[in-house]
Amino acid sequence: MAIMVGPRFRFGARARFLTALGLFALICTGVEPPVVRANLAQPAGALGSATVSTESLGGEDQYAVAVAISGRLFPNGGAPVVYLAAGENYADALAAGPIAAREGGAILYTSASTLTAAVGQELIRLAPARVEILGVTSVIDDNVLDQVTAILAPTTVVERLAGSDACGTAAALSARSFEPGAASTVFVASAQSPSDAIAAGPAAARLGSPLLLVTAASLPATTAAELLRLEPDRVFVVGSPIAVSDEVLNAIKLIVPQTERVYGADAYATAAAVAARFLPLAATDVAAEVVAGATGYADGLPAVPLAAARQAPILFAQPDDLLPTPTRDAMIAGRPTRIVIAGSVSEVVRAQLVGFSDGRLTVPAPTPAYPTYDSAYHDYGEMVTLIKATEIAYPTLVHVFSIGKSFEGRDIWAAKISSNVSVDSGKPEVLFDALHHADEHLGVEQALYMLATLTANYSTDVYVHRLVNERVVWIVFALNPDGWAYDLSGGSYHFWRKNRQETGGYYGTDINRNYGYRWGCCGGSSSNPSAYNFRGPSVWSTPEARALRDFVASRVVNGVQLIKAHVTLHTNGELILYPYCYTKSALPTDMNFDDYSTFVKLAQTMAHMNGYKAEQSSHMYVTDGDEIDWLYHQYRIFSFTFELYPKELGSLTADDYPPYSVVATQTARNRGALLYLIDMAACPYQVIGKAAQYCSGAPVVTPSSGLMP
């Protein structure tokens, strides 16, 4: 099968393709706004699979991607024809995909007014007999035509092929290539839905069909005239009723009665529907590839001739860390053994392409999803996919495992992150955990952010590189998956905090009041099972707290607790809290002064980095049976609670359920502080100048020069 075109710019959220499609309005009537891009160069993939190979045809922008694809199609030059499309306004070129495939040619991009050196060099290398410049002079001006003419051999035919708009250009391309009656099938897509037109390209090529363009609301006269001239037996309209209205479909039916629509619920699903209908993988097609394109979609168009040559579909990725569901399902159904990625995708997305194809990743069991307006948050299943894909993408850095089961039997997933991750090295260790409280969703996103930071930045950021080499970081992503599922059940939030254990007819224990130091001692929890902070009928009564307890206990090696520092991620308040929680006394008899000083120094330094406020956990109110009290008292782990964004607002909804739009900023905000704690974990006492006293013989003592600016 085919090719992947990856995203090169990111929105803050998933499922934002409609926004991207909005960029392409007005195609058959006027000027198209430029495609927005940021350059997020990805490190080359080291991804391996026994059965699935990936090939990246990437580049800094769509111009470079097109050149890379052209190089792949014509490694020795010698293209018979090159179609030259405007890189920022390629609607006029949408129909050129199947034509270029039919003629064995390539598609390159140019800017509107001048030929760049890289594209010029590729044209010279290809030495085509013919160059077709697609679109009127306002799309690509004559200067480009003159430049192309000047750099190629005098025998080269350089000409402009254009209708009055993109639909007209598509009709002209068809008229040039197909005699009346020569095409029994015609594909139609909207010029305003480039992803549909691109996905239709390899299918049209396979059936020897031209691709014509309409708009969402009209069948242009030029398109209708071309249909009348071709007299095809049937027409496939690729796109949803939103992309191509039923009115337009019916207008086509008046010309060609056997007209049918091929589409899915969104751009990704439409591409998958085209693949399933026209370009399915045969079980014996062992050399199959999958070509996908991404938001921006410009990377997909030059991939059409390549996909067509392999009888492969084009599917799409998206600017996010998760593969779109239709693309994922196409991988599972097709099990391609070769995947060509046109453009760039993250290593984690690449790992999903491979993992779903070779069976290492499977669709998670259904759990409740976020409400539509917050769907960009990662639900439990998406979290599982993401962390397992990260393990596939970075097998030497990440090991994913479960520390145990929740009350309802869900796995409590965790990851170990360190260089040579399979070795138990004795390096100083740090533990992060999230979602003791089920409605504190931002904690999960912060945990996932740290996983991404420590892996994706390992090869590019010297500080991260050193920390991953010299420490072991453990992340428990969601300690309370049952409460989480309940909080999201039924499509709306339930402000649910506890787990889902039943006591005396009431559901839920506050896991963070169930730990085994001074449990229920001090009025910092409730004995009432209906209370939001019910401490449980007995200490350690929750399987979730026990799982955390047993995991931490397992990190005692040769009598030494290797975990030196810990952060539990909660919301909200923008606070960094340190023990003790059970008493308002700053220095009770169960804490020594050096530990107290170290806690304060670490908390204040981290607060300086992220703008939070550092204080003793009991400052606002006393809690007992709290995780950080137990971790400190039991193991002398420097254990902190981060109360994440926002500050206390007094509005429950705003406090508990911030919109996804804040996630990128609010998780990145804690990068420096959390990396600093990982750094200091070599010997936390170094921050009070007592490393020699406390940490002689420590496995690794890091100079404290690693402070982030």
For Zn ion, the binding residues (CB under 5 A) are 437, 440, 570
By beta-carbon proximity to Zn ion, the closer residue of 437 and 601 is 437
- Shortest spacing between CB 440 and Zn ion, in angstroms: 5
Nearest to Zn ion of 437, 555 (CB atom): 437
- Nearer to Zn ion by Cβ, of 433 and 440: the residue is 440
Q: State in angstroms the smallest separation of the CB of 570 from Zn ion.
A: 3
Residue 263 Cβ vs Zn ion, minimum distance, rounded to whole Å: 44
DSSP per-residue codes, 86-138: ETT-GGGGTTHHHHHHHHT-EEEEE-SS---HHHHHHHHHH--SEEEEES-TT
Minimum CB–partner distance for residue 369 and Zn ion (Å):
22
Nearer to Zn ion, 564 or 570 (CB): 570
Q: Which residue is nearest to Zn ion (CB)?
A: 570
Closest to Zn ion by CB, 471 or 570: 570
Q: Give the integer Cα–Cα distance in Å for 383 and 389.
A: 10
Q: Which is nearer to Zn ion, 263 or 484 (CB)?
A: 484
Q: Give the relative orientation of helices 442-456 and 671-680 as an angle to the nearest 10 degrees.
A: 70
Residue type, 223: T
Minimum distance between the CB of residue 512 and Zn ion, rounded to whole angstroms?
Answer: 6
Q: Which lies closer to Zn ion via its Cβ, residue 99 or residue 547? A: 547
Beta strands in 454-537 (DSSP E): 472-476, 502-503, 506-507
Name the residue nearer to Zn ion (CB basis): 543 or 573: 573
Question: How far is Cα 294 from Cα 345, in angstroms, rounded to an integer?
Answer: 8
Strands 130-134, 81-86: pairing is parallel
Q: Find the shortest distance in angstroms from Cβ 476 to Zn ion.
A: 14
Nearer to Zn ion, 378 or 570 (CB): 570
Strands 185-190 and 234-238: parallel
Catalytic residue, chosen from 226, 382, 544, 643, is: 643
N-term to C-term CA, the chain: 48
The neighbour count for residue 380, using CB atoms within 10 Å, is 25
Closest contact distance (angstroms) between CB of 549 and Zn ion is 18
Give the closest residue to 377 by CA, choosing from 445, 427, 424, 291. Answer: 445
CA distance 641 to 653: 21
Exposed, middle or buried, 542 (CB in 10 Å: 0-12/13-18/19+)? buried
DSSP 503: E
Measured between alpha carbons, how far is 149 from 115 in angstroms, rounded to an integer?
11
Tell me how far, at minimum, the Cβ of 349 lies from Zn ion, in Å.
Answer: 31
CB distance 114 to 147 below 8 Å: yes
State whether residue 235 is helix, strand or coil.
strand
Q: Strand 506-507 to strand 502-503: parallel, antiparallel, or no bridges (unpaired)?
A: antiparallel
Considering the complex, what minimum distance in angstroms separates the CB of residue 478 from Zn ion?
13
Torsion-angle region of residue 508: left (phi > 0), alpha (psi -120 to 50) or beta?
A: left
Q: Yes or no: say if 31 and 342 are a contact pair by the CB < 8 Å rule.
A: no
Rounded to 5 degrees, what angle do the CA atoms 86, 91, 97 make? Answer: 90
* Min separation Cβ 489 and Zn ion, Å: 20
Q: What angle do CA 188, 191, 192 make, to 5 degrees?
A: 125
| Nearest distance, CB of residue 436 and Zn ion, angstroms | 6
**Largest alpha-carbon pair distance within the chain?**
94
Contact 573, 440 (CB under 8 A): no
Active-site residue 260, yes or no?
no
Residue placing its CB nearer to Zn ion in the complex, 210 or 573: 573
Q: Are strands 106-110 and 3-6 parallel, antiparallel or unpaired?
A: unpaired
Q: How far is 35 from 37, CA to CA, in rounded Å?
A: 6
Q: Any bridge partners for residue 37, and if so which?
A: none
Helical (H) or strand (E) element with 570: strand 563-571
- Spatial distance between the Cα atoms of 480 and 437, rounded to a whole number of angstroms: 7
Q: Between 440 and 544, whose beta carbon lies closer to Zn ion?
A: 440
Tokens of residue 136, six digits? 């009127």
DSSP string for residues in 622-691:
--SS-HHHHHHHHH--EEEEEEESS---S-HHHHH---GGGHHHHHHTTHHHHHHHHHHTT-GGGGGT-H
Closest CA relative to residue 124, chosen from 162, 158, 78, 69: 78
| Residue 572 C-beta: closest distance to Zn ion, Å | 8
Smaller CB separation from Zn ion, 416 or 570: 570
Can you tell me the distance from the alpha carbon of 259 to that of 251, in angstroms, rounded to the nearest whole number?
Answer: 10
Active site residues: 643
